Amino acid sequence: MKIFVLSRRVLTAVAAVALAAAMVLAVNMPAAVGASATQRQLPIYAVEPAAGEKKIAISFDAAWGADDTDTLIDILGEYNVSATFFLVGQWVDAYPEEVKKLHEAGHEVMNHSNTHPYFTQCATDTVISEIEACNDKIEAITGVRPTLIRCPYGDYNDAVINAVRSLDMEPIQWSVDSLDWKDSATAQSIYDRVVSQVEPGSIILCHNDAEYTPDALANILKTLQEEGYTFVPISELILPQPYTIDHAGVQHPAG
User: What's the pLDDT tens digit per position in 94-139?
Assistant: 999 999 999 999 999 999 999 999 999 999 999 999 999 999 999 9
pLDDT given for residue 40 in this prediction: 83
pLDDT 10s digits, 30-66: 334 444 444 789 999 999 999 999 999 999 999 999 9
Question: Of the residues 61, 155, 177, 246, which is catalytic?
Answer: 61
pLDDT given for residue 169 in this prediction: 98
Mean pLDDT, to the nearest integer, of 134-147? 98
| Amino acid identity, position 104 | E
Sign of the four-CA dihedral 226, 228, 230, 231: negative
> Is 246 a residue of the active site?
no
- Asked if residue 1 has pLDDT above 90, the reply is no
Q: Which domain holds residue 127?
A: 2-253
Please report, for the domain that includes residue 133, its CATH number.
3.20.20.370
pLDDT given for residue 32 in this prediction: 43
> Is 116 a residue of the active site?
no
Distance CA 60, CA 110 (A): 10
| Count of structural domains, the chain | 1
pLDDT 10s digits, 209-238: 999 999 999 999 999 999 999 999 999 999
Question: Of the residues 177, 207, 209, 246, which is catalytic?
Answer: 207
pLDDT given for residue 41 in this prediction: 93
